[in-house]
Amino acid sequence: MKIYVNGAVTTQFGELWGVSPRSLARGSVESALKDAGIESGQVEALFVGNMLSGMLGGQEHLGAFFAEELGLSVPAFKVEGACASGGLALHNAVNSLLSGQYATVAVLGIEKMTDHKPEDVATALMGAGSEEERSAGATFPGLYAMLARMHIQEFGTTEEQLAAVAVKNHYHASLNPNAQFHNLLTVEQVMGSSKVADPLKLLDCSPISDGAAAVILSSKKAKGSVEIAASVVATDSLGLAQRTHLTQLTSTQKAAQKAYHIAGIRADDVRVAEVHDCFTIAEVLAMEDLGFFPRGEAAVAIEKGETRLGVSTRVVVNPSGGLKGCGHPVGATGVKQVVELVEQLRGSAGKRQVDNATIGLSHNVGGSGATAVVHILKK
C-alpha cells in the first residue's frame, strides 16, 4: 500500500501574540482540507503532535480538544515525543493507514510558546532531558554546546563554520513568507552575538515560536499527491552520559539507514532535506548522520555553500529556513518539515524552489537525540 500527502499547509511562525491555539489549529487544518480537495467529513482520525500544552497551558487532552474545535467526531490522539512530537504524530498516522484502520486522516502539529516566561519555557523543554541533566541544572543549549565542543575537538570544526549554518538558514527564511525571521545574517553578526553556552551564541540557537502545520494523509491518490515512501523512528538514551559517541546521533543514523532501505534509495538520491537545526551544531551532525557528507566534513561543506539554495548541486538543506530561520514551535516542526517538502516536490515553493526536487527527506529530533524521526517523500 502507498501513502500520500494530499493536503499540506503551515501557518505563519513567530510571536503570534493575538492568535489562540484554537485559531492556529482551525486555520491550518481547514486550509489543508481545502488543499486536499476534501470535506472534513471524509477525515476518519486526527493525530495531534504537541509537547508543551500540559506543562505550559494546563491542557493535556488535545485530541478531543482540537477534534471538538474542528467539528470532527472521530478518533483523536495527542502524540508527544519532545521536539519530535510532530514527526511522531505523522509516523503514527502513516501506520494507521498502513494497517487499514483508516483511509484518510489529518495530522496537526501545533505549539504556543511565546505567551509564557522564557524561564518557564526552558524548564518545560528540559522535560525532554534525563533526570541527571535536570538535577545538574543543564539546559538544551548547554547539552548541544557539549556536542559542539566535542565536534570542534575531534574534527577541528570552527565557530565560524557553525555560524555559516545560521547565515544560510536565515537567507532561506528570507524567501519564505511564513518564516519567523526575514533578516539576513553575516558570520560576523553571529560571532558577535551574546554567548549562551560556549561555543554556542544567541544566533546559533533556534527561537521560541508559535505556529501550526497540518497535512492530510490518505491511501487514495489525488491531484498534487506526494508519496510518503518511508516513515521511520529510532531512539537512543535520554541523557548524553549514556552515549558511546558525542559527535554523532545514533538514533538519526539508524532511522536514516532503515528509511533509505524501505524507500529503495541512497543518501545521494536526496535532493532536498529539512533537518532539525535546533542549534547550528545540530545541522552539522545531521548532515553527517544522514550520510550526506563524511564524518567531519559537513561543516566545511556548509561553509562553502554546498547545501545552499542556488548553489548546491547535491542536496539543498532547510529551504524553509529550518528551525533557526523559520522558527521552532516544537510540536509543529516535524509536520512543517513535511509541508515544505510537499511544496518542493510539487514545484510550488516559489522563490525558494529547489531545482529537480523529486526526492525529499525530513529529519525531526526529540531532546538531544533520544528520538529521531525520518520521512522520505517522493514526487
- The position carrying cell 538535577 is 135
Q: How many Å apart are CA 193 and CA 37, to the nearest integer? A: 46
Tens digits of residue pLDDT in 221-238? 999 999 999 999 999 999
**What does the pLDDT average to over 157-175?**
98
What does the DSSP assignment read for 103-155?
Answer: SEEEEEEEEE-TTS-HHHHHHHHGGGS-HHHHHTT--HHHHHHHHHHHHHHHH
Per the residue annotation, which of 91, 151, 328, 363 is the catalytic one? 328
Q: How many Å apart are CA 255 and CA 257, to the nearest integer? A: 6
Tens digits of residue pLDDT in 239-273? 999 999 999 999 999 999 999 999 999 999 999 99
Q: How far apart are the first and last CA of the chain?
A: 16
Q: What confidence score (pLDDT) does residue 31 get?
A: 98
Kindly state the percentage of the chain with pLDDT values over 90.
Answer: 99
Q: Which CATH class, in words, describes the domain spanning 3-117+208-218?
A: alpha beta
Per-residue pLDDT band for 354 (boundaries 50, 70, 90) equals very high
CB-count burial class (<10 Å; 0-12, 13-18, 19+) for 205: buried
Q: What confidence score (pLDDT) does residue 167 get?
A: 98
Tens digits of residue pLDDT in 280-310? 999 999 999 999 999 999 999 999 999 999 9
Q: What confidence score (pLDDT) does residue 376 get?
A: 98
How is the chain split into domains, by residue range?
3-117+208-218
Per-residue pLDDT band for 345 (boundaries 50, 70, 90) equals very high
Q: What confidence score (pLDDT) does residue 242 get?
A: 96
Per-residue pLDDT band for 102 (boundaries 50, 70, 90) equals very high
CB 108 within 8 A of CB 32: no
Per the residue annotation, which of 83, 205, 278, 326 is the catalytic one? 83
**What does the pLDDT average to over 128-151?**
96
Mean pLDDT over all residues of the chain? 97
Q: What confidence score (pLDDT) does residue 185 get?
A: 98
Q: What confidence score (pLDDT) does residue 337 get?
A: 99
Q: What confidence score (pLDDT) does residue 150 get?
A: 98
Candidates 81, 95, 77, 371; CA nearest to 231 is: 95
328 catalytic per annotation: yes
Residues contacting residue 345 through CB under 8 Å, at least 6 positions apart: 226, 272, 357, 358, 359, 360, 377, 378, 379
- 307's grid cell: 547545501
Residues contacting residue 243 through CB under 8 Å, at least 6 positions apart: 236, 237, 250, 369
Q: How many Å apart are CA 287 and CA 307, to the nearest integer? A: 10
Q: What confidence score (pLDDT) does residue 297 get?
A: 98
Q: What confidence score (pLDDT) does residue 35 get?
A: 98
83 catalytic per annotation: yes
Q: What confidence score (pLDDT) does residue 2 get?
A: 97
**What does the pLDDT average to over 118-133?**
94
Q: What confidence score (pLDDT) does residue 27 get?
A: 97
Q: What confidence score (pLDDT) does residue 321 get?
A: 98
CB 83 within 8 A of CB 336: no
